[in-house]
Amino acid sequence: MINSSIGEEKPQKSENNGIRRALSLLFLPAVFVYLEWTLQRDCAMGEGYHMGTALLAGFAFGLLCDIPVFAFRRKGAGFAAALILAEAGCLYFVVQFFVNNSYQTFMDPVTIFQGAGGVMEEFGQDVARLIREGAGIIVRYHIPVIALIVLYPLWDFTRRDRWTVAYVALAAVIAQSLAAGSTQMDSFAAPKYTYEYVFNDGIRNFGLVTSTQRDFVYSVTGIPDRPKKTAGIVSRGSSSNGAPAFHGLNKLDIDFAALAASESNAAISAVHSYVAEQKATVKNEYTGMFEGKNLIVLCCETLSAEAVSEELTPTLYRLKTGGIQFEDYYHPFWGGSTTSGEFAVLTGLVPVNNAQSMQQIIGHQNSSCIGYYLMPKGYLSLAYHNGDYDYYNRYKTHPWLGFERFISNGTGMEGYLTDMWPPSDTEMMLGSIDDWIGEEPFYIYYMTYSGHSIYNFTYHEQAIKHKAEVQNLDASTKIKAYIASQLELEEAVTILMDRLTEADLLDDTVIVITADHYPYPLQNSMIWANDRDYVSELYGYPASNEMLRDHEILIVWNGELEKRDEPIVVSQPCSSIDIIPTVLNLFGADYDSRLYPGRDLLSTDEGLVMWNSYSWKTEKGFYDATTGRFTPEEGETADSDYIDSVKEIVRGKLNYCRNVIEKDYFKYVFTE
């Protein structure tokens, strides 16, 4: 009897060990399948999401993670490796959830890593509150880790034989191949895996694992070019307002075709060829209108057109109505918050790599920036920001953007800034004006801060300061606090105008004002302490797509413009990357318009606004790249040839910007 009993136990024990070993092999694949499923459920990926691709890629990546886990002889070491990998995955997915919840976009790992320190330093209180209020979500994303720990006796993470490891690797390759192959089965989504790849859109189509893999691969190899079509690229056309008088071209004496032929670097040669195909904009009656005048540019934290009114912001309203009228202006939200918005304003390029774009231009020849045209003419060129000097590495980036000095909290501004949250735009203006007034000609740039979130009357000191001014508004407390925060900017601009008036410089100074991005801290989000979508309340309509969300304010003002009988009106769609070529034309600078993806807004070229998601807008309508739908403007029509031609133009421009940013293209053009 005893011997019989022992003989029955051994097969049972062996069977249990086999089950444990199989479950352990499947644990990490199951983790990433679960995380992909949870993220798509929580973030409402949309109709373009390919669940099968995401789950296959997650399963394949989990199998790949098995290989190092099962390399250890001791169970404890293998368990620790599995725990580390599972926790890393859970943490990465939950961070992406909160990023998307905060900004309505996902951010690549490098952007998150670069910004993490600054976020904790400046917004630690908000992050702590987010962790408290989002504890349930954090737990949900950590269920695999909890299960791993609680069910510790169930697992067997000891070393496997080489054949088992080989089978696991083969299964990972097969699963990944199926996932990659499935991305090409949808003709609309397939380009988003290759030549139209964008990290955020990759996630919304194929999942986080796939998009992260693509991001890593393309950071090494570069995003592939689109296969050449037999038809040539359709260049942007002219408006139908009749043939204008010819004043010459905004074009330098550079033979880009010859540069392409002589360039040994194939990638740079291709960019030269692309530029050679572009049409230079025609000079116009406004060319040189502001030649020799001073220039002040303000990129304003979260400013919106709705925040400007005659009653509450009379100075901003004066500048808006007394300058050039831009009737259809947008500042696309490029996916990297303030630094991406600054990048577009200061370089005239699309930040195709989101927040990384600004970091990538450190040490480059950034010849598209205004300062490089004005400083040789004797302009004093200074940049100011009333935040910490090292946030977004501004003390490293801004000296490469055409400024002699960057002055911020920590590089000269600490002497006149009070320790408050958020910092005061008024204090920045009061403390800085004497640096440059009387030093004409000057080019001065301000990145403001007072309009930063979180909007409340509890600890937002600028909103508290201006609370009485907004109490009679017919709006929610959140919107009142937002408007109140912008009144500090109004006060700062009023001080600026008063000092320019005293110095008799209004006619000799051009003021350009725009925002860094739409007021995303008003959207429904835990980190911004919002229980509903306040952006739609501010706008008065649902901001349901990029075009509706990103409409913005652009001011180009000068004292002489204000005296005109009729204002200059720009009715075509335009955006922040159009600011620099427009200003350069107005200042009569010798520049080559072929090198800018934007255009001089006073030219006759067709208006084009593009997003780095490959969406775009022209006078004929809006193309939403997330859905593939074109919505025509009232009274307009567009056939498939027109839509395809503009899509091709947008692809070319975005690819051009990527090459300028990543390959330091201008050093191949402007050689010493």
DSSP for 23-85 reads HHHHHHHHHHHHHHHHHHHHHT--TT--HHHHHHHHHHHHHHHHHHHTT-SSHHHHHHHHHHH
The residues, any chain, with a CB within 8 Å of residue 46's CB and separated by 6 or more, are 204, 626, 627
Give the pLDDT band of residue 75 (cuts 50, 70, 90). Answer: confident
pTM of the full structure: 0.90
pLDDT exceeds cutoff 90 at 17: no
Q: Please state the rounded mean pLDDT for residues 578-591.
A: 98
Spatial distance between the Cα atoms of 560 and 578, rounded to a whole number of angstroms: 22
Both structure tokens of 83: 């725990």
The single-letter code of the amino acid at 36 is: E
Peptide bond into 174 cis (omega under 30): no
Alpha-carbon separation of residue 37 from 141, 407, 461 (angstroms): 11, 47, 41
Beta bridge partners of 609: 617
Query: Do residues 584 and 284 lie in contact, with contact meaning Cβ atoms separated by under 8 Å?
Result: no
Query: Do residues 574 and 607 lie in contact, with contact meaning Cβ atoms separated by under 8 Å?
Result: yes
Residue-wise pLDDT tens digits, 435-460: 999 999 999 999 999 999 999 999 99
Closest CA to 127 of 114, 117, 139: 117
pLDDT exceeds cutoff 70 at 672: no
Residue-wise pLDDT tens digits, 401-412: 999 999 999 999
Q: Please state the rounded mean pLDDT for residues 602-630.
A: 94
Confidence at residue 235, expressed as pLDDT on a 0 to 100 scale = 39
Q: Is 529 left (phi over 0), alpha (psi -120 to 50) or beta?
A: left
**Between 326 and 163, the higher pLDDT residue:** 326
DSSP 8-state class, residue 254: -
Residue-wise pLDDT tens digits, 335-382: 768 999 999 999 999 999 988 899 999 999 999 999 999 999 999 999
Give the pLDDT band of residue 571 (cuts 50, 70, 90). Answer: very high
Q: What domains can be seen in the chain, in order of their start residue?
A: 14-221 (no CATH), 293-605 (3.40.720.10)
Question: What distance, in Å, lies between the first and last C-alpha atoms of the chain?
Answer: 96
Gyration radius of the chain over CA positions: 28
Spatial distance between the Cα atoms of 375 and 371, rounded to a whole number of angstroms: 6
Tell me whether residue 123 is exposed, middle or buried, using C-beta atoms within 10 angstroms of its C-beta: 0 to 12, 13 to 18, 19 or more: middle
Which of 259-290 are b and which e, b meaning 16 or more Cβ less than 10 Å from the residue's Cβ? bbeebeeeebbebbebbbebebbbbbebbebb
Closest CA to 422 of 354, 500, 346, 482: 482
Alpha-carbon separation of residue 360 from 176, 397, 452 (angstroms): 31, 9, 25
pLDDT exceeds cutoff 80 at 298: yes
Give the pLDDT band of residue 1 (cuts 50, 70, 90). Answer: very low
pLDDT exceeds cutoff 60 at 275: yes
**Between 124 and 643, the higher pLDDT residue:** 643
As a whole number, the mean pLDDT across the chain is: 91
Query: Which residue is listed with tokens 């946030």?
Result: 391
